[in-house]
Each structure stands twice: as C-alpha cells, then as structure tokens.
Amino acid sequence: MMKVSKKIIAVLGAAFLLGACSQPTTSTKPQKESKLNIMTTFFPMYDFTRNIVGEEGNVTLLISAGTEPHEYDPTAKDIAKISQSDALVYDNENMETWVPTVMKSLTDSKVKEIKATKDMELLPIEDEHDHEGEEHHDEHDHEFDPHVWLSPKKAKLLVEKITAQLSEAFPEKASAFKTNAQAYLEKLSQLDNEYTAALKDAKQKNFVTQHTAFRYLATDYGLNQVGIAGISPEAEPSPARLAELTKYIKENEIRYIYFEENASEKIAKTLATETGVVLEVLNPLESLTKEEMDKGDDYISVMKENLQALLKTTTVAGKEIKAEH
C-alpha cells in the first residue's frame, strides 16, 4: 500500500494558515473573461498542459527545475498555492504520492483534480529492481510504474485525458482547449511515427539504463529495458545485481549504458568502467534544468534527443539476448 510522507501531514496545518492569509480578492471581471490558474506538478505535465491551455490560462510548474519529483514533498507554501489554483494537473499517485492526501485536505477549495493517467492501465513494478540488498525509499514506494509519458504513443493519451478533464471542469473554455490539443496531438503523432520508423527494425533491442523509467517506451516500440536499479534514479543496486549486470553486458555485447544527467551517475560509471562500455544520456524529463528550460527545450525536443541516443544501441547488432535477466 502507498505510504504517505509524515512531512505532508505536518505541513497541512501551516498550509491552511498561509492560504487563509493570502486569499485572492474577488474579481469584478465576468467569469468568461478571466484566465484560469492551472498548477502542474512536474515538467511533462506542465508542457502538455500549457499546450492545451494556450491563452486561456496561466500554467505554473510546482516542482522547480532541477528538483527530483520522486523525492519531492510539498511545503506549506506549495500547498497554499495549490489551494488557490483552479486546477492541479498531475501524473498519478504512484509518482506524486502526496497528491491524494493534499487534495483530501483541501475541503474548502474549489481546485479541480486533473489526473493525466485517469482510467489508464499502468504496468506493475517489475521484480528486477527488488534484488536483495538494494536500498529503497519507503515513503515513496511505487506500486505501479508511473513513467507513462516517456512513450510518445502514451503521451498522446495523456494529452487527450488532460484535455477531456479540463474541458469538463471548465466548459466555457472547452472549445479552445480541444483546438489547442488537436494541434499539439499532430506534433506528438509525428514524434510517435519517428520512433516507430526508427526502432521497428532495431538490430539490438536491449538497452541498459540506470533509471528504469523507459518500460512504456520499450513496450510500445518493441525494445527491452534492462535496469541497473529501480524506479527511483537514486536507488542503489546490490553488489550481486552489479555482478549480474557486468556478466550480462559482457556476454551480450551491450555497447552503451544510459543514465540520467540530473541524477547521480556514480553507479552507471562504475558499471561502465567495469565492462568497458560507453555512458550515454537518456532523459526521463522528470525535471529539466533551468538552463534547458531557458533555451526552450520541451517534451518533443528532448524525446527526439532520446531517440538519437537510443539509436546508438539499436543500430548495432549484438547477440540474441534472453528476456530473463
């Protein structure tokens, strides 16, 4: 069962005080002229939502650039900001474990809860990261893999679901939302087509990654993710797991190990040194740096970079690899 951080419960009272002290004044504008204030949790939710909302509202990113969403707990100030928003857009409770508790606490708030993965069937966590001796972050345990956005095919579904829920919550803006979403979905479909065309004839379908965030991508495009550790990028694999992977990489002619640039690369570096392979970045888009955001990087541009990185592995033939590891 999902465990809730004690920190969240501790800050809820302070959040109510902050919210009460900073209630927005009632606008004299007619409702139809006012812009919505939409809060989003982490970068993909922010990028999808701003493309849907367009000029109809102000879309804000809650979890700041460079912060790891897996380990994030909202502060009292963050909760107060959420309570004053018109809607909160998030991925799901397996990623933002704190959302159900916070939303239940906002009994006097009119903030709409927009769950991007609503009614989607998520993949259960694989056993591969549960090796004996591996460290876990108990307060942020995941029951299901939350990284749906890393498959362009699934990203289209997320955009459709966010659009449908926002349209239902704010019917006066539904037409604009749907128009904006359609234009963005065309771009995502093009990205999906690029992935399909580039990976359909992959010579090497197996890729090794430190952060096991790419299972939906692998499933949708015929690849096989082999994880060093777990769902959290900071999870530590056991010595036995590292020995197992060292053998696997050498036997199966794996040429690259992928790591997340914003997380610790110590484990990936150790494994790369041990096996003589090259380190390469796969960006899970959970938290872009301020520099990346300032230069205009977005979901589509980063996913294109990820595709180019994956092609370094998939275009090089290796031995036939068994599914079990």
19 shares its domain with 129: yes
| pTM score, whole prediction | 0.84
Identify the CATH number of the domain in which residue 254 sits.
3.40.50.1980
pLDDT for residue 11: 57
Residue 200, classed as helix, strand or coil, is coil
135 shares its domain with 238: no
Residue located via tokens 């495009």 = 221
pLDDT for residue 151: 98
Residue type at position 218: A
Give the domain range for residue 115.
6-23+34-192
pLDDT for residue 136: 40
Residues 6+ apart with CB under 8 A from 248: 208, 226, 254, 325
Q: Is residue 244 part of a domain?
A: yes
Q: Is residue 310 part of a domain?
A: yes
Q: How many C-alpha atoms does 218 have within 13 Å on its Cβ side?
A: 21
pLDDT for residue 259: 86
Domain boundary among 158, 192, 226: 192
271 shares its domain with 123: no
CB 283 within 8 A of CB 260: yes
73 shares its domain with 96: yes
The residue among 203, 254, 202 whose CA lies nearest residue 226 is 254
Residues 6+ apart with CB under 8 A from 143: 1, 2, 94, 124, 125
Q: Is residue 324 part of a domain?
A: no
pLDDT beneath 50, residues of the chain? 1-3, 20-32, 128-140, 318-325
Report how many domains make up the chain: 2
Q: Is residue 273 part of a domain?
A: yes
63 shares its domain with 171: yes
135 shares its domain with 207: no
